[in-house]
C-alpha cells in the first residue's frame, strides 16, 4: 500500500548513543513530566483507565499538574550541567486533560532547558483550535495512540464513545498545520484482523509522518491485565523476546508525577517507588539525579539483583524482555566499576 508515512516505530532504536559508552550520565537524557495522571479513556490494558483501582491506590488520581509547580520544575532543569535532550510531557495519564498543556510546551521551549519537547496522547481531545495552540507553542513531536479503527472498537476496547470521523479529521488538521512538529501514529495490532490492519494504514498513512503497528505487552508490573491478552510471542515492536536483567531506562530517564513527586521508574503506575519521601519536602531534579538512593537503585541492576527484590515492581517487569530499547547486561561489571 502506497502512503506518505514512513513505517517506523515511535522508539528510535538506531540513532542513539550506546549506553555502555556514556554511562554514568551527569544529566538525564529524558525527563518525563506528567501533565495529568488521570485519563478520559478506560482501556482494558491500562491501570490509568481503571477508576476503581486508582481510588484504592495512594498517590493516584491527583489530576492535572499545577502550572506554577510545573514552571518551578522547568526552572530547576537549568541546575543540570548539560542541556536535557527531551522534556517528555507524558507519563501516567492523558496530557491534554491539563488545560495548561500548550502553556507547558511553550514554557519548556522558551526556557532553553532542553533540546526538544514531545508528548504521547490518545488525541481524542484534539480540536483545530487546540492543535494550533500546541503547534504554535513549539511542540517538536506528538505520538498518537490509536485504539481502534472505528467507533465500535473504541467503545469496546477503550470504553469511550468516540466520533471516529471527527477524530480522524482532527488528526488530519494537526498534520496539515504541524510545521516543526513530527507526528507518529501507532496502534495495538493484537486487536486487529489483517483486513483491519490494512484499514488502519489506509486511514492514517497519508496524515502522519510515521506509522506503526505495535503489540500488547506487560507494561505495568503488578497490574493484572485480565481483560486483554498479552502477546507472549513477540516484543512490543514485533521483535524477538529476550530476557534482560539490567534495566536501561533508569540510567538515562527521570520521572516526575503530576503531584511533583519523583519516581524511580516511569512505569511505576501505583507510585510505590518514590524518591522524594527520603530526600526531603522539596528537592530539585538535579538533587534527585545525584542522590545516593538513585545511585544504589542503578547499581542494584548492575549487580544482577533485580529479580531478588520482590518488593519492587522491577522484580517481575515484563517490559524488559519485550520492550527494552537496549541490552547492557554484558557490560554490567564494566559499568559497576564506573559508577
Question: CA 204 to CA 26: how far, in whole Å?
Answer: 40
pLDDT of residue 223: 55
Domain ranges of the chain: 28-121+215-338
Instruction: Please state, in angstroms and rounded to a whole number, the distance separating the CA atoms of residues 49 and 47.
Output: 5
Q: From CA 38, how far away is CA 92, in angstroms rounded?
A: 7
Cell, residue 118: 514531545
Rounded to whole angstroms, the Cα distance separating 11 from 237 reads 9
Helices (H), 77-218: 101-111, 128-137, 151-157, 164-176, 194-204
What's the pLDDT at 9? 86
* Beta-strand relationship, 84-88 and 30-33: parallel
* DSSP annotation string for 44-108: TT-GGG-HHHHHTSTT----BPPHHHHHHHHHHGGGSSS-EEEEE--SSS-GGGSTTHHHHHHHH
Rounded CA gap, 154 and 147, in Å? 6
Per-residue confidence (pLDDT) for residue 337, from 0 to 100: 92
**pLDDT of the residue at 153:** 87
User: Is residue 254 within 8 Å of 275, Cβ to Cβ?
Assistant: no
Would you tell me how many other CB atoms lie within 10 Å of the CB of residue 238? 14
pLDDT for position 324? 76
pLDDT, residue 277, reads 55
If we measure between CA atoms, which residue out of 300, 222, 312 comes closest to residue 273? 312
Residue 19: enclosing H or E segment and its boundaries? helix 19-22
Contacts of 265 (CB under 8 A, 6+ apart): 247, 249, 250, 255, 273, 313, 314
Query: Which pTM value belongs to this model?
Result: 0.92
DSSP-assigned states of every residue in 249-305: GGGTEEEE-TTS-EES-TT-TT--SBSHHHH-SS--HHHHHT-HHHHHHHHHHHTT-
Partnered with residue 161 across adjacent β-strands are: none
Q: What is the pLDDT of residue 184?
A: 98
Q: What is the pLDDT of residues 122-171, one digit of tens each?
A: 999 999 999 999 999 999 999 999 999 999 888 887 888 999 999 999 99
- CB environment 119-145: b (16+ within 10 A), e (fewer): bbbbbbebeeeebebbbebbbbbbbbb
Give the H or E element holding residue 21. Answer: helix 19-22
Query: So what's the pLDDT on residue 316?
Result: 80
Task: Check whether the bond before 21 is cis (ω within 30° of 0).
Answer: no
Task: Take residue 259 and report the three cell numbers written for it.
Answer: 503531584
- Residue 236, burial from CB neighbour count under 10 angstroms (0-12, 13-18, 19+): buried
pLDDT reported for residue 232 = 63
Low-confidence spans in the chain with pLDDT less than 50: none
Rounded to whole angstroms, how far apart are CA atoms 167 and 165? 5
- 186 DSSP β-pair partners: 145, 212
CATH number of the 28-121+215-338 domain: 3.20.20.70
Amino acid at each position: 500500500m502506497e502512503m506518505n508515512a514512513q513505517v517506523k516505530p515511535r522508539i528510535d532504536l538506531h540513532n542513539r548513543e550506546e549506553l555502555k559508552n556514556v554511562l554514568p550520565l551527569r544529566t538525564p537524557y529524558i525527563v518525563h513530566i506528567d501533565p495529568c495522571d488521570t485519563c478520559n479513556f478506560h482501556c482494558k490494558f491500562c491501570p490509568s483507565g481503571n477508576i476503581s483501582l486508582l481510588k484504592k491506590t495512594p498517590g493516584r488520581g491527583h489530576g492535572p499538574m499545577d502550572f506554577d509547580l510545573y514552571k518551578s520544575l522547568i526552572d530547576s532543569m537549568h541546575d543540570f550541567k548539560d542541556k536535557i535532550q527531551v522534556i517528555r510531557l507524558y507519563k501516567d495519564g492523558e496530557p491534554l486533560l491539563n488545560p495548561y498543556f500548550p502553556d507547558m510546551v511553550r514554557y519548556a521551549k522558551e526556557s532553553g532547558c532542553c533540546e526538544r519537547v514531545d508528548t504521547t496522547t490518545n488525541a481524542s481531545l484534539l480540536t483545530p483550535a487546540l492543535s494550533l495552540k500546541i503547534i504554535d507553542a513549539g511542540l517538536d513531536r506528538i505520538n498518537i495512540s490509536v485504539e481502534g479503527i472505528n467507533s465500535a472498537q473504541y467503545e469496546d476496547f477503550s470504553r469511550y464513545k468516540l466520533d471516529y470521523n471527527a477524530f480522524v479529521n482532527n488528526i488530519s488538521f494537526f498534520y496539515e498545520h504541524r510545521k516543526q512538529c513530527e507526528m507518529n501514529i501507532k496502534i495495538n495490532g493484537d486487536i486487529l484482523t489483517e483486513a483491519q490492519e490494512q484499514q488502519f494504514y489506509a486511514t492514517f498513512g497519508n496524515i502522519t509522518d510515521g506509522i506503526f503497528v505495535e503489540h500488547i505487552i506487560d507494561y505495568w508490573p503488578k497490574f493484572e491485565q485480565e481483560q486483554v491478552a498479552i502477546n507472549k510471542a513477540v516484543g512490543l515492536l514485533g521483535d524477538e523476546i529476550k530476557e534482560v536483567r539490567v534495566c536501561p531506562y533508569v540510567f538515562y530517564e527521570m520521572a516526575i508525577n503530576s503531584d511533583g513527586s519523583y519516581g524511580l521508574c516511569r512505569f511505576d503506575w501505583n507510585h510505590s517507588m518514590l524518591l522524594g519521601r527520603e530526600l526531603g519536602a522539596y528537592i530539585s531534579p538535579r538533587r534527585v539525579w545525584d542522590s545516593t538512593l538513585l545511585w544504589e537503585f542503578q547499581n542494584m541492576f548492575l549487580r544482577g539483583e533485580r529479580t531478588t527484590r520482590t518488593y519492587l515492581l522491577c522484580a517481575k517487569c515484563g517490559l524488559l524482555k519485550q520492550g527494552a530499547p537496549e541490552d547492557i547486561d554484558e557490560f554490567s561489571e564494566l559499568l559497576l566499576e564506573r559508577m
